[in-house]
Structure formats: structure tokens, C-alpha cells
Amino acid sequence: MSKNFKKNLLSLILIFAMLFTFSGCATTNPNQSNSNNQTSQTTKTSDNSGKIKIGFSFDTLNLERWQHDRDYFVQRAKELGADVLVQSANSDSQTQYSQCQNLIAQGIKVLVIIPHDGSAIAPIVEEAHKAGVKVLAYDRLIMNADVDAYVSFDNEKVGELQAEYITKLVPKGNYFLLEGSPTDNNAKLFEQGQKKVLQPLVDKGDIKIVGEQWAQDWLTQNAYNIMQNALTANNNKIDAVVDANDSTALGAIRALQEQNLAGKVAISGQDADLANCQLIVEGKQSMTVYKPVKEEATKGADVAIALAKGEDINANGKVNNGKIDVPSVLLTPVAVDKNNMVDTIIKDGFHSLDEVYKNVPKDQWPKQ
Ligand code: BGC
């Protein structure tokens, strides 16, 4: 062997060794990997590690509840030996669609989606299936598509709990309905549940619905504007607000407060967000609907991994999405007011007593 040949051979071995090392170090940061090159590198990484990769597409992470969902889901998936790539679409349907395509290209086995718009996102299901990726609709249903599974709460029940609570508190009077985002199938289910309870009382003449409006993207600011206009239009003669969730209740309560009506007008919510739990113990919000998100996220991760492995998902129901009956895992929501705050939200460690009662004088704190 000549000296030169030996030198060339050594260089070649070195180059191969370096190439091998770098392909094993590809990053899996979903925000960076738009080019095809990076995509194929990440795919390789997953093959090498043998770990299941799950893509999770959030409508938004700006609302408190979705941050809890993300944290619990990722934690559970990790415990089960899977990696989760998280993307948030900032409440934009097109962004969400391309982020989902990007996740599919990164070698995931399951795509979990909280759709911004349950209809606009539907065609991604077929695209995913073509790539051998299963699709799980998380919390919000994807409409008219062959979705593999759905994990959520009984959403009609959420609306029933809201209306039942408020009508017990205010059996007669003027009602305003502040609904959620019109592109969210859940918002329609909450409204259906509410109306199941309200309609007989309207028919009896006990309550009068003086208005109903939908807050685009569930935004606090939109809800504030809606409530302000509703108060003006009705000369402040509103006795109760059936409000679909906590982010919108925050806006509505701000508008009520400006008219010195906070605490005088009954108002519902949903999610047990910290700011709303504080308003409940201060007497400015009547109730919220607590949906143990840890349970939902843990179930979500279990179902995602079962789908990846081709195992049974242990569905307890089916929900029709206009095309098929989607195998579903549906959990039970709980109505929470100041009387059971400690036994539910605080006991579960969702928020601490100190956080929730922060604005209440200490001598009025419940004894634990
Ligand atoms: C969820 C609610 C949430 C709302 C706004 C709905 O689909 O079920 O819990 O408050 O979206 O994010």
C-alpha cells in the first residue's frame, strides 16, 4: 500500500465517521425544519432512536388552559417513551394546515389536532392517512373526515351545567348568551346544552333571552365589546349572562364592572382559569365548569400511543362528525362555585389555595 493511498483511505473513513455522527444529531425543533433536507434528517433520527414521534397541533397556546394540556400531554407521552413535536397556529386556519403538513413530513406516527376550524382542517386527515399517520381530534372535533379517534369531555353537558347553575340562581329575568367561537364545534355543543335547559323556561315566560352573540376566537377583548354593546342596548337591564368560557367571561365581567354590575349579574364560565377562580371566590363570577385537563391530556397521550401501536383505544362512546361515528373517549365535566372550589380545583392541585384566594382577606379563607 502506497503512503498516498493509505492517507486517502484514512481521510475517507474520517469523512464517513463525521457524516454518521452528524446525521444522528439532527435537531427536532419543529419551528426550524421547513426544508426537505432537515425533514429527512429528523425522520432518520426517529428511526435511530426507535421512539414513537407524535405531532401535536394546537389552535393556540395563548389561552391558559391549552398550556396545561400541552404540559400534561408531553409529560405522559414521555413517561410512555414517546416524543412530542408541538406546534401552535396562533388561531389561524392556514397556519395550522401547513404546520400539520410539516409535522407529517417529520416522520410522526400520530397527528393530534385541536382544530381552529373543525371544517377547514378536515382534508389534512386524508393527507395524514396517505402518509401512514393516524389522526386524533383532541378536545374539538374535526368535521366530515375519517378521524381515527376523539378525546374530549361531554360538551353538551358543559352547556347544561352552565345554564342549570345560572337558572337556579336567577329563575326569572333577562338573559344574555355570550357564546364561543363560531368555527369551534364545541361552541355549538355548549350552546345546544344551554338551550336544552333554557328553552322550557323561555316557553314558560320565566326568562327572556335579550340577545345572543358569538365571540370570534374566544377572545376576551371581543367578549368585552359584545357585553358593552349588550348592556347599552338593554339599558343595563340584564340579570344573567350564560357565558361559554372563562376567557370570554373575563371580558364580560370587565364590561359589567364598568357599570358597577360585577357581582350583581350572574355569569357562568368554563375552564377554571386562575383569574376566573379568583373572581369566583371574590363573588364576581358565579361559576365555572372544571374539566380536569390532566385527565384529558393523559387520556389523549394514552390514545395517541395506542393508535401508533395499532392497539385498542378503549373508547366509551362515538360522536358523529357528519361523515362517520368517531370512536371517542368522553370525560365528565364538573360545575364549580365558591362552595366546592376547595374540594375540586384546589384538591386536584390544579391551582393552589394561596393563588385562588390571593385577593380575599386571609380571615375569610376556607379552613382546609
Ligand atoms: C374548549 C374550551 C375552551 C375554548 C377556548 C373549547 O373548544 O373546549 O375548554 O375554553 O375552546 O379555547
In degrees and rounded to multiples of 5, residue 26 shows phi and psi of -55, 135
Give the pLDDT confidence score for residue 36 in this predicted structure: 31
pLDDT band at 18 (very low <50, low <70, confident <90, very high): very low
**pLDDT of res. 146:** 98
Instruction: Confirm if 160 and 199 have CB atoms less than 8 A apart.
Output: no
- Residue 239 Cβ inside 6 Å of ligand 1? The answer reads no
pLDDT in tens, 207-244: 999 999 999 999 999 999 999 999 999 999 999 999 99
pLDDT at 50: 79
- For residue 279, is pLDDT > 90? yes
Give percent of the chain with pLDDT exceeding 70: 86
More confident residue, 103 or 29: 103
Rounded to an integer, what distance in angstroms lies between the CA atom of residue 255 and that of residue 235?
A: 13
Average predicted confidence (pLDDT) for the chain: 89
Residue ID of nearest Cα to ligand 1 atom 10: 245
The number of angstroms, rounded, from the C-alpha of 283 to the middle of its chain's C-alpha atoms is 27
Answer whether 227's CB lies under 8 Å from 259's CB. Answer: no
pTM for the whole thing?
A: 0.85
Query: What is the pLDDT at residue 283?
Result: 98
Return the pLDDT at 262. Answer: 98
Among candidate residues 297, 331, 254, 226, the one with its CA nearest the CA of residue 71:
297
Residue 367's pLDDT is 80
Is pLDDT of 2 > 90? Answer: no
CB 175 within 8 A of CB 198: yes
**Cell numbers given for 108:** 410522526
Q: Please state the rounded mean pLDDT for residues 113-134.
A: 98
Regarding the beta carbon of 139 and ligand 1, being less than 6 Å apart is answered yes
Q: State the Cα–Cα distance between residues 81 and 74, nearest whole angstrom.
A: 10
- Of the chain, the percentage scoring pLDDT greater than 90 comes to 85
CA–CA separation, 211 and 174 (whole Å): 9
CA distance 100 to 263: 43
Q: pLDDT-based confidence at 15, cuts 50/70/90?
A: very low
Overall residue count recorded for the chain in this entry:
368
Q: For residue 114, give the ligand 1 atom closest to its CA.
A: 7
Q: Tell me: the pLDDT tens digits for 326-358? A: 999 999 999 999 999 999 999 999 999 999 999
State if residue 222 touches ligand 1 by the CB under 6 angstroms criterion: no
Q: 22-72: per-residue pLDDT in tens?
A: 333 332 333 333 333 322 333 333 445 679 999 999 999 999 899 999 999
pLDDT at 47: 46
Calculate how far, in angstroms, residue 15's C-alpha sits from the geometric centre of ligand 1.
52
Question: Ligand 1 centroid to 93 CA: how many Å?
Answer: 16
Atom of ligand 1 nearest to the CA of 140: 7
What was the pLDDT predicted at 16? 44
Most ligand 1 atoms within 8 A of CB, residue of 70, 143, 270 to mutate: 270
Q: Is 271 in the pocket of ligand 1 (CB under 6 A)?
A: yes
- Select from 63, 64, 39 the least CA-distant residue to 53: 39
Residue 269 confidence (pLDDT): 98
Ligand 1 neighbour 185 (Cβ under 6 A): no
Q: In the prediction, which pLDDT does 64 show?
A: 87
The pLDDT of residue 83: 97
67-87 pLDDT, tens per residue? 999 999 999 999 999 999 999
Instruction: From 218, 231, 280, 166, select the one nearest 60 (Cα to Cα).
Output: 218
Three-state SS for 277-295 is HHHHHCCCCCCEEECCHHH
Per-residue model confidence (pLDDT) at position 41: 30
Gap from CA of 235 to ligand 1 centroid (Å): 30
Query: For 157-168, what is the mean pLDDT?
Result: 98
Residue 23, pLDDT score? 34
* Ligand 1 pocket, residue 184 CB under 6 Å: yes
pLDDT score for 368? 64
Ligand 1 contact via 248 beta carbon (within 6 Å): no
Give pLDDT, residue 48.
Answer: 54
